Structure 1
Amino acid sequence: MSLPFVKPLVLEQLARQFSADDFAFTTTDEIPAFRGVLGQERAVEALQFGVAMPRPGYNVFVMGYAGTGRYSYVKRYLANEAKRKSTPSDWLYVNNFNDAREPLALQLPAGKGSAFCRDIDQLLTNILATFPAVFETPTWQQKKSTIDREFNRNYDSVLDFIEKKALEKSVALYRDSNSISFTPMYEGKALDEAEFALLAEEQREKFHADIAELEELLNQKLSILPQWKRESSNKLRQLNEETIAQALEPLLAPLAKTYSDFPDVLAYLQAMQGNLLKTVVDQLVTEESSEPVRRQILELQYSPNLIVGHHATAGAPVIFESHPTYDNIFGRIEYVSDQSGLSTNYRQLRAGALQKANGGYLVLEAEKLLTEPFVWDALKRALHSRQIKMESPLLELGRFAAVTLSPQVIPLQVKVIIIGEPNFYYALQEYDADFQELFRVLVDFDSEVAIDEDSLEHFAQLMKTRTTEEEMAPLTACAVAALARYSARLAEHQQRLSASISDVFQVVSEADFIRLQLGEVHTDANHVAQAIRAREYRTGRISQQIQNDILAGVILIDSQGEAVGKCNGLTVLSIGDSSFGAPARISATVYPGNNGIVDIEREASLGQSIHSKGVMILTGFLGSKYAQKYPLDISASIALEQSYGYIDGDSASLGEGCALISALAKVPLKQCFAITGSLNQFGEVQAIGGVNEKIEGFFQLCKARGLTGEQGVIIPQANVANLMLNSEVLNAVQQGLFNVFAVRCVDDALEILTGQSAGAVDDQGNFPEGSINALVVKRLQEIAEQDKTTDEALEEVLKNAMAQANE
């Protein structure tokens, strides 16, 4: 192999090395736990501001990717902050005796709500003990007897008068409990029907006339009976009300005194007292109902419904609602089935997360919140109006045909914290005009953390926190160093750690499991390495299958020899939680014509927008560099061979450029290399993503076929800082069996791939004779001259044809 013009990267450039010397401990037992969030100073400051800001509209959106610690840190911070806040009020719903469909809301200081419920419960117990016993006292019985005697006396006086008149006419008056009747008399003796029939007709007619007269007189005299009955009933009702009021007074007076500072409670107690006057008489003074039934009657009407209660010293509530349905957020009205259908009352009201979080903090997840019907708009309405309105949204759709309630609204004072990924935040910013007004504080969690002494120390402390919380074995300093290296690999940067700490925690858990199986005391670096290898193996089926297809010749990839217009590109495939590199052949063909550069992927509708953009940039680069003297009057096509799915990204544009130049110059490219990089219109190589997976994917193929020391990869110079290659690649590089080259421009890549000089342009715009670039220009000159000759010959043919036509 000839000496390349660009030197391969040295071992130190291929990965940042972490060691136990980076940490001032032997095991994590020796260091304190870390309760903060790793390297998120901007986010921490923003969260502190948002939580402390008392003005409306300063709700918080916590933006970041899952696994960055956003959720756990928000939870810890709010829990600590809530302890310093005052405990909000308790809220109860009680019966509205004027309109049962509109229950009333009562507000009491924290802890007083449950006390009020107990007081009412005791009151109901006392009422059941008092009634109907109070109606069995001698005093009440005597007064009731007086009312009854007065009615009976009036009634009896009428009957006595009628009876006297009847005797004057020889007619007897008979009365029983249900009726009054008249019977003829003869010689002081009442006659039966047979005896009456023996009387003379004149006597019988006289008796009939006398009895009719007496009945008419009786009706006249008893016409006032309903009035007497009303007067008697009114007197009895007045007696009952006085009796009930006197009996209730000693029961309600202590409550009125206890809650004298709460006007709404006093108003409810007064309304309750007025309603009890009817309830006691109608429903409690009966021998048919048992005491449990009577108690249920009282509870359904008078027991408060405590929907939100707090301990007096609990601090502000922090509610994490993991299932933000409409009912779970705003509360619900429950229904019970009875003979008449569905029914409800104020005791069927149930609090939602918004009621529970009132006076504190409500934490929601954006993805779940925005996928629930009605919830987002209703939440905005509540935050705008600063009121909680409990209602059933299905009623508006006509899907629920039952009488419902309209509970009194409750004032709302809550700080809403929404946690979500960036796409949700930016979508809300763009499409919802109310979002910016209601969520003015952005807490932006970074996906990476700069590596410095403090961040490494905090990283180790965070590992200590995890192992302690999960009751796992302590980590050695070497294990922490291995985890830091894994984190930097996730971040794809030698100077940064990944903020996705949950991925690192998974490796810690799996390494501890391996340690446990081996029966060792501490989790060491070898346990971490085994855990990482095991994870790669579990998710590596598809990558192994692709490699097997390459080795079997199903997928055509060369790793030795030379070829014109062909090179090995590097791609990254992401399937589920598996991400791996796979080489792909890039081919280019060039022939005279004027079709320009045809992107086969785009023509087949497989090339996506960024890939197509890369090909168009490549066209611009070739034209600006080589077509200064001769036109780029060619037909060329480029393709990623054996790709049958959608292709996007511009990381193949460097390889496509090299393949095209090879085809133009007819200079072969070495197939022992694979190449990746994005090309701009000036031929400069730009950074790409997934560089580690791409390198390792080609390395595995070369390893399977046998490392020769000639194989290697070409990457952009800008990606050197992203290199965190695995130990297998590093060992091969150290032994001289594999190479990694970093290039700044397309000429650097060409020189590596061909072993020839690319050639730099001089002041006259010419390339050195024999250089690759000079060969490209020469080929363009040949095509242009060939086109000129063809045009001249065609012009001569046309000229001769016209001359013959004129003859």
Structure 2
Amino acid sequence: MNVTNPKSCAMKQLTTLSADQLYQRASLDELEFSTTQELDHDNYRFVGQERALRSADFGIRIKQNGYNIYALGPEEVDKRSLLENLIEKEAKKQSVPDDWVYVCNFEDEQKPIVLKLKPGDGIRFRDKMNRFAEDLPNVLTSVFESEEYQNRRQVIEEKVKEKEHEDFTEIQKKAEEKGLSIVRTPMGYSVSPVKDGEIMSMDDIKKMSEEDRKELEQEVHNLQKELQKILRQIPEQQRKIKDERDELNREFTEYAVKGLIEEVQDEFEYNSDVVSYLESAKKDIINRAEQILNPAAGNPLMQAMSGNKPDKTTSPSDHPVLWRYTVNVMVNNAKLEGAPVIYEDHPIYNNLLGRTEHVSEMGALTTDFTYLKPGSLHKANGGYVIVDALRLLTQPYAWDGLKRALMSRKLKIEAPGEMYGLFSTVTLEPEPIELNVKVVLVGSRLLYYMLCAYDDDFQNLFKVEVDFDDEMDRSPETQKMYAVMIAGMLKKNDLQPMKKDAVVRLIEHTSRMVSDSEKLSTKTNDILKLLQESDYWSRKEGGEVIDLKAVETAIEQVRYRSGRLRDKYREQILRNTIFIDTEGEAAGQVNGLSVVSLGNLVFAHPTRITARVRVGKGEVVNIEREVEMSGPIHSKGVLILSAFLGARYALDRPLSLSASLVFEQAYGGVDGDSASSTELYALLSAIGDIPIRQSIAVTGSVNQHGDIQPIGGVNEKIEGFFEICNERGLTGDQGVMIPKANVKNLMLKADVVEAVENDEFHIYAIESIDEGMSLLSGMEMGERDENGNYPDGTVNHKVAEKLARFASVKKQFTTQNDQAELHASTKDSK
């Protein structure tokens, strides 16, 4: 059988990392300045976001439908500020968009009409129409009180009276000729017989002969019919007169408002929609002239309230009729220079898409077009609106409303309940406004990918992905750019200038923020927070310039404020409540390193990891997994251990092992594979009964080939173990073993670097399990010879020997068990 030889396991003398490898210092020697005031920072920009800047520039400039922007990245990056700066620069180059107003639809008040006007004309049109409505009652009053109007109206009314008089005179004459008279009673007109100039009584009528009485009754009946005919003509004549009077009113009203209308039309003759609206307004005024002059007419309640006198102090918007001729300005761009840029910080449905307000009048809710209120999309129409994606998605109906507006490219004001048919009530149906807006959503990466996966419309509406990075390459050039950015941020936020050595320290700290000595953080919110706190500590000490001490204090105070849990955990270790050995040796026991992340707190602490072995079926039991305290990544790491053991030690025999692994005194969940190498060391130690140095803590993940892979939180892990060792007293034998691939991530605290420099603490960088096990045990790993055997006294020999013994025991036990079962079966058959 061909066996792949493992890596050479000859004992190698591993050297610790030097102090220079633990902390990469920054240099600004090429930049001449003593404080940031001397740097040219007027046009500073956030550095390290070239991809995002190019994507944003594309998204801002492209005019096609659906090319809205989603800016994704960590919350600590001030995505909004960067985008606002870019958008505002582009918006200033663009033309100012039109104004939008709503006016009354005189044919259907429930469906207000929208008008588009030149920028600034919305306010002018409103003011003109307000003045028009204010002047209208006075103009109408003067016209209707004129001598010409009164004379013509008198002629019309006298014509009615004259006609009625002629008709009654003629029938009265006929009545007198027949000895009758037309008498007016409370019940109307009646015909009565007359004798000697007086109306005959019933007694006189009874005294008449039968023939005379019948003749009289016939005469009365005939005259009564004539009288009824005349009376029936009176309402018709009155209607004709009313029509003539109404026509007279229309004639004089049109004459009165013609000048007012033309005055407004002359101002806005360029807009045919406005001209058409004014013509409709004129017709409405002609039909409502009497209501305008006497709004309480025909309304008993208003008559009682007003004493039937028009209130000349009432504004047009409060007048029962004149409000119809006012203007509701939805968008006023008079003061804009370029396209609008709006940030909506509370993106509820109404704030985005507008709303219809209502007013209570005598127990009923009423509304009209003057109660239409604009949303952010109205104000940003023709420009840009920036919205926080998470806030938008957590507001009922807001996301669906925004999508509907973007897809239809129209803004329609409606209540969310009506949109979904939840309730129906009398309300307005305003004419939609044409929508031309660029929406910029700002949110997390997770939210972006979820929208891509679960919302079919999202990628059609937000085609531009602006992905902000949280780190950038560190080089002399980028460090100079970083210094200029810091100077700009200090100036913009009215903070004290900063000394050069303080800038250098801050740049170094940003590498620590991303746990990479070759990178710099682009998390501008975190950087600004540190600048603000450095400014505070500088001012507290009476300084006028932020110096190195202020920056160091700010960094330390951030750590101190969030460090209660870290200190409590360290106290439990130092008081031996949590068992951690930092000296001596033990088999099947290794100090692993765990990272805790809670809010702003990120720290690491040592954790004892132990292993126990026995004869079994080749299983490695993850106790955390059995009690459901293990995450999937940690469980995966444990399964890899079985693969490694089988490949190295069980190529020609079964792996007859049952092992258990546990994080001792771990009472929360465990996840991640950074402890998988530690668990493997504990397993190898337990199998071979090989003592492990407790003065060295271990971190690193392992693959099936035994290669040590990089992990996260390497700085915190080293410092977590160092602090325990330092409190107990450094012996010069203590240290931490990390993956070699993590050396570039080291940006350790000054006290750790100093201890390494003084040879009091050590940090080892390894590439394989063989190197790590040799360091921990002080033994050579041993290399398999051509017969498949390992040299005596090596780690591999001890492990292989123990596993061979386990296999032999299992085989012997299985054989005995099979013989016993066969004997029992034979006995039963007899």
TM range (shorter): over 0.9
2:59 is the alignment partner of 1:43: no
2:715 is the alignment partner of 1:692: yes
Query: 2: CA distance between counterparts of 1:534 and 1:589?
Result: 43
User: What's the counterpart of residue 578 of structure 1?
Assistant: 601
1:22/1:728 Cα in 2 relative to 1: closer, same or farther (>3 Å)? farther
User: What's the counterpart of residue 79 of structure 2?
Assistant: 70
Q: Counterpart amino acid of 2:430?
A: P
Query: 2: CA distance between counterparts of 1:403 and 1:88?
Result: 33
Identify which of 344, 356, 370 aligns with 1:347.
Answer: 370
Identify which of 470, 475, 480 aligns with 2:493.
Answer: 470
User: What's the counterpart of residue 208 of structure 2?
Assistant: 202
2:678 is the alignment partner of 1:655: yes
Identify which of 262, 270, 273 aligns with 2:271.
Answer: 262
**Aligned residue runs from structure 1 range 665-676, under 5 A:** 665-676=688-699
Identify which of 15, 22, 26 aligns with 2:34.
Answer: 26
Deviations 1:364-409 (A, max 9, x none): 1111112222222232222222212221121255554530111111
Structure 1 unmatched ranges of 5 or more: none
Deviation at 1:559, TM superposition (A): 0.8
Contact 2:618–2:642, Cα closer than 8 Å, also in 1? no
Query: 1: CA distance between counterparts of 2:346 and 2:336?
Result: 28
Deviation at 1:796, TM superposition (A): 6.0
Query: 2: CA distance between counterparts of 1:687 and 1:550?
Result: 27
Query: 2: CA distance between counterparts of 1:154 and 1:177?
Result: 23
**Aligned residue runs from structure 1 range 268-667, under 5 A:** 268-285=277-294, 288-293=309-314, 295=316, 296-311=319-334, 314-339=337-362, 341-397=364-420, 399-594=422-617, 596-667=619-690
Deviation at 1:184, TM superposition (A): 5.8
1:248/1:512 Cα in 2 relative to 1: closer, same or farther (>3 Å)? same
Q: Counterpart amino acid of 1:767?
A: Y
1:66/1:106 Cα in 2 relative to 1: closer, same or farther (>3 Å)? same
Query: 2: CA distance between counterparts of 1:762 and 1:559?
Result: 36
Deviation at 1:425, TM superposition (A): 1.1
Query: 2: CA distance between counterparts of 1:577 and 1:332?
Result: 40
Query: 1: CA distance between counterparts of 2:800 and 2:618?
Result: 18
Query: 2: CA distance between counterparts of 1:797 and 1:181?
Result: 138
Query: 106-115 vs 222-231, which deviates more?
Result: 222-231
Q: Counterpart amino acid of 2:264?
A: L
User: What's the counterpart of residue 4 of structure 2?
Assistant: none
Contact 2:27–2:476, Cα closer than 8 Å, also in 1? no
Contact 2:618–2:655, Cα closer than 8 Å, also in 1? no
User: What's the counterpart of residue 24 of structure 2?
Assistant: 16
**Aligned residue runs from structure 1 range 755-774, under 5 A:** 755-774=778-797
2:272 is the alignment partner of 1:251: no
1:792/1:219 Cα in 2 relative to 1: closer, same or farther (>3 Å)? closer
1:184/1:801 Cα in 2 relative to 1: closer, same or farther (>3 Å)? closer
Query: 134-143 vs 455-464, which deviates more?
Result: 455-464
User: What's the counterpart of residue 148 of structure 1?
Assistant: 157
Query: 1: CA distance between counterparts of 2:339 and 2:823?
Result: 100
Deviation at 1:93, TM superposition (A): 1.0
1:676/1:164 Cα in 2 relative to 1: closer, same or farther (>3 Å)? same
User: What's the counterpart of residue 221 of structure 1?
Assistant: 230
Deviation at 1:418, TM superposition (A): 1.0
SS of match in other structure, 1:579:
strand
SS of match in other structure, 1:223:
helix
Contact 1:87–1:312, Cα closer than 8 Å, also in 2? no
Deviations 1:141-200 (A, max 9, x none): 000011011111110001111222233345554569995566665544x4697xx86887
Query: 2: CA distance between counterparts of 1:438 and 1:78?
Result: 19
Deviation at 1:445, TM superposition (A): 0.6
Identify which of 99, 110, 116 aligns with 2:125.
Answer: 116
Query: 682-691 vs 759-768, which deviates more?
Result: 759-768
SS of match in other structure, 1:131:
helix
Query: 2: CA distance between counterparts of 1:294 and 1:681?
Result: 85
Query: 2: CA distance between counterparts of 1:561 and 1:127?
Result: 102
Deviations 1:615-649 (A, max 9, x none): 11111111111223443211111111111221110
Query: 1: CA distance between counterparts of 2:23 and 2:611?
Result: 34
1:298/1:32 Cα in 2 relative to 1: closer, same or farther (>3 Å)? farther
Query: 1: CA distance between counterparts of 2:582 and 2:673?
Result: 23
SS of match in other structure, 1:297:
coil
Contact 1:631–1:780, Cα closer than 8 Å, also in 2? no
SS of match in other structure, 1:16:
coil
Query: 157-166 vs 52-61, which deviates more?
Result: 157-166
SS of match in other structure, 1:402:
coil
Query: 2: CA distance between counterparts of 1:667 and 1:795?
Result: 35
Contact 1:14–1:730, Cα closer than 8 Å, also in 2? yes
SS of match in other structure, 1:471:
coil
1:157/1:60 Cα in 2 relative to 1: closer, same or farther (>3 Å)? same
RMSD (CA atoms) = 2.4
Query: 2: CA distance between counterparts of 1:155 and 1:341?
Result: 47
Query: 2: CA distance between counterparts of 1:240 and 1:738?
Result: 105
User: What's the counterpart of residue 301 of structure 2?
Assistant: none
What's the TM-score once normalised by structure 1's chain length? Answer: 0.95
Identity of aligned residues (%): 35
Deviation at 1:208, TM superposition (A): 7.3
Deviation at 1:294, TM superposition (A): 7.7
1:799/1:182 Cα in 2 relative to 1: closer, same or farther (>3 Å)? closer
Deviation at 1:765, TM superposition (A): 3.8
Q: Counterpart amino acid of 2:166?
A: S
Query: 158-167 vs 288-297, which deviates more?
Result: 288-297
Deviations 1:298-329 (A, max 9, x none): 44211111111102652111111111111111
Deviation at 1:256, TM superposition (A): 2.2
Query: 2: CA distance between counterparts of 1:409 and 1:16?
Result: 61
Deviation at 1:666, TM superposition (A): 0.8
What's the TM-score once normalised by structure 2's chain length? Answer: 0.92
1:176/1:493 Cα in 2 relative to 1: closer, same or farther (>3 Å)? same
Query: 1: CA distance between counterparts of 2:435 and 2:206?
Result: 94
Structure 2 unmatched ranges of 5 or more: 1-10, 298-307
1:4/1:536 Cα in 2 relative to 1: closer, same or farther (>3 Å)? farther
Query: 1: CA distance between counterparts of 2:471 and 2:444?
Result: 15
Query: 1: CA distance between counterparts of 2:638 and 2:732?
Result: 32
1:782/1:563 Cα in 2 relative to 1: closer, same or farther (>3 Å)? same
Q: Counterpart amino acid of 1:488?
A: S
**Aligned residue runs from structure 1 range 94-105, under 5 A:** 94-105=103-114
SS of match in other structure, 2:208:
helix
Deviation at 1:719, TM superposition (A): 0.6
Query: 2: CA distance between counterparts of 1:335 and 1:400?
Result: 16
Query: 337-346 vs 424-433, which deviates more?
Result: 337-346
Deviation at 1:473, TM superposition (A): 1.2
Deviations 1:420-476 (A, max 9, x none): 111111111112222222211111111101112332222222222222222221110
Q: Counterpart amino acid of 1:12?
A: D
Deviations 1:743-776 (A, max 9, x none): 1001111112112212233455433321111111
1:756/1:175 Cα in 2 relative to 1: closer, same or farther (>3 Å)? same
Query: 2: CA distance between counterparts of 1:353 and 1:801?
Result: 87
